[in-house]
Structure 1
Amino acid sequence: MLRVVVLGAAAGGGVPQWNCRCEVCRAARSDQPELKRSQASIAFSADGAHWFLVNASPDLRQQLIATPQLHPKAGALRHSPIAGVILTNGEIDAVTGLLSMREGSPFSIHAHPKVLAILKSNSIFNVLGEKTVKRVPIGIDQAFEPALPDGSPSGIEVLAFTVPGKGAWYLEGKAHPGGDDGAGDTLGLRIRDRATNRHFFFLAACAHVTPELKARLKGAPLVFFDGTVWRDDELIAAGLGAKTGQGMGHIAMSGDHGAIAALADLAIDRKIFLHINNSNPALLAGSKERKLAEGAGWQIGADGTEIVL
């Protein structure tokens, strides 16, 4: 049985963002606390006892406190059910939470060699000693079974694949520690329970939907998909930034080439947007954007959502 918990559903900065008074952030601070969301990450498990994270957001500590499934087990002085972390990119909101896991519990970090090169190039990540925290490179389209800390099989198969996107913004204009060939900067994941064959997809970033990606996602039981912005020029129109969604490597929800249109008619059982920016009006329950998204069969991700496949 495959279990998934949404630890965070927001894009970088969360909701409310610390320095923002946009409509969504104002509402989240006042009369609509249900709008609050931490930065995007999920946890999944095949047995309910050992869990893997997808990405480690800067909000990881508070996410773990809020998630009983990830608490230390009763009777143990030091323990964590977290067996590993799978990184889909090297962005700040995907890797910074690793620093909150520096207290000596064993787990593994699985990432593309380019992302592992980023970690290696920054000495602050040395607090995660490699004798305790193994760093395991993953290949494109090469399915693997992440092991539990004692070396036993997890019962889970993970397949990473390339997704149109961009490298970490803090490396723009600089030499990438892992090389500049573009491969491995943005990954999607297919995660499968080997016992039941149930599976789901996770894509926190995606610049556009290719025919190959449509073929992968067709008929999936569950898809978590990039929901950063509602419209491509959203940040510019709201006066919150100078970049478009495409300029940041993210597809818009709406529009003829947006995610809603691109992933329609693929017989996906459940579609959930996550990595949602505070600027996105689809976060507001009464908005026309929310109604359009839900009318098209999409769910707006929220922290704490648990799904059993």
Structure 2
Amino acid sequence: MRLRVLGSSAGGGFPQWNCNCPNCDGLRRGTIVARPRTQSSVAISANDSDWLLVNASPEVLQQIRETPGLQPARQIRDSGIAAVLLIDAQIDHCTGLLMLRERSAPLPLYATAEVLDDIGTGFPLTRLLGHYCGLQTRPIALDGQPLDLPFLEPLQVHAVPIASQPPPYSPFRGQARPGDNIALMVHNPLSGRKLFYAPGLGQIDAATRALMEQADVLLVDGTFWTEDEMIRLGLSAKPAAEMGHLPQSGAGGMIALLDSLPPGKQKWLIHINNTNPILREDSPERAILAAHGIQVAFDGLEIEL
């Protein structure tokens, strides 16, 4: 089983088009040691031919160009993308669906009822795409059963609800429902290994922690370094928790959580905001992560399971 990170940044990418924070300005000027990143998305395959696209970012066309396996060219019109799965209804995770509109048949789309509701009303992607390729919606039931993904066999993919926030356009912003945000547990029964994928984690409850303890590979929320990161830079009045993200540093942060898990796990951070100092490869914050055995995902990273 192979997971490829197509995009490792939070919304806006890195550098963000209108941002002149020290990170974005430094990357443009070439004065910091960092690499550009597109918005968060991964692809999963059991055979390197048929792929599950997890989130469709606004840069999906660039990501396909940079990942030849997603364009296998077996016929005049072709794609290695067998289906798309949305973990939430955030704009940076679903806008790329519009870029896939030239598909010759309806695109299979896996999402919870809550996410399908948001992208059918507040951001009516399902109606828009009905005028183009259309969608075959496959509602995800959070019943503990593996998803029906025959093209990924023998892999088993479980969707689990997690605590975070629905998008700002959702009428349920601030009063999240189970199903507004999910994580994925991917199990390869041939190797016995498991991967836990959760780019948005606002809180860690007992059920989420139990899943993280079971996983061999963790690919989890790396959005902010501190709770007040955006406030200190004058970019927002909202702390990380209000945006639905657990910062890395501080008591109860992601570093402390990952430290408390059983040893021997691969630990990766993804969905990294453009303001986060861990984007600088020679920063003190990156050195702290390394000392704790935590790595920072990048576009093009491949993980075998």
Query: What TM-score, normalized by structure 1, do the two folds share?
Result: 0.90
Deviation (angstroms), 1:56: 0.9
Q: Distance in 2 between matches of 1:54 and 1:236?
A: 30
- Tell me the alpha carbon deviations over residues 134-167 of structure 1, each in whole angstroms, 9 at most, x when there is no partner: 110111143234335xxx6643321111111111
- Given that residues 208 and 250 in structure 1 are in contact (C-alpha distance below 8 angstroms), is that contact kept between their aligned partners in structure 2? yes
Cα distance, 1:132 vs structure 2: 5.7
**SS state of the match for residue 170, structure 1?**
coil
The residue type paired with residue 169 of structure 2 is Y
Deviation of 1:197 (Å): 3.4
* Corresponding position: 1:157 with 2:156: yes
How far residue 224 of structure 1 moved from its aligned partner, in angstroms, is 0.7
Deviation at 1:212, TM superposition (A): 2.3
Give 2:280's aligned residue: 284
Q: Which residues in structure 2 correspond to 1:193-232 (within 5 Å)?
A: 193-232=188-227
State the secondary structure of the residue aligned to 1:304.
coil
Q: TM-score, normalised by structure 2?
A: 0.91
Equivalent residue number for residue 245 of structure 2: 250
Within 5 Å, give how 1:1-309 maps onto structure 2. 2-31=1-30, 32=32, 34-74=34-74, 76-106=75-105, 107-121=107-121, 122-129=123-130, 133-147=135-149, 154-171=153-170, 174=171, 182-266=177-261, 267=263, 269-309=265-305
- Structure 1 portions without partners, runs of 5+: none
Shift of residue 194, structure 1, vs aligned partner: 4.2
Percent of aligned pairs sharing the same letter: 36
**1:21-42 deviation line (CA, Å, top 9, x unaligned):** 1111012212158421000010
Find the aligned partners of 1:265 and 1:123 in 2 and give their Cα distance.
42
| Partner secondary structure for residue 182 of structure 1 | coil
Q: Tell me the distance in 1 between the aligned counterparts of 2:215 and 2:188.
A: 14
* Structural RMSD (CA): 2.1
SS of corresponding position for 2:95 = helix
Q: Distance in 2 between matches of 1:59 and 1:153?
A: 24
Q: Give the Cα–Cα distance (whole angstroms) in 2 for the partners of residues 251 and 175 of structure 1.
A: 20
Relative to structure 1, the CA distance from residue 39 to residue 138 in structure 2 (aligned partners, 3 Å threshold; closer, same or farther) is same
Residue 17 and residue 298 in structure 1: after superposition, are their counterparts in 2 closer, same or farther (change >3 A)? same
Q: Is the 8 A contact 2:231 2:239 kept in 1?
A: yes
Q: Distance in 1 between matches of 2:138 and 2:203?
A: 28
SS of the equivalent of 1:263 reads helix
SS at match of 1:35: coil
Deviation at 1:133, TM superposition (A): 3.2
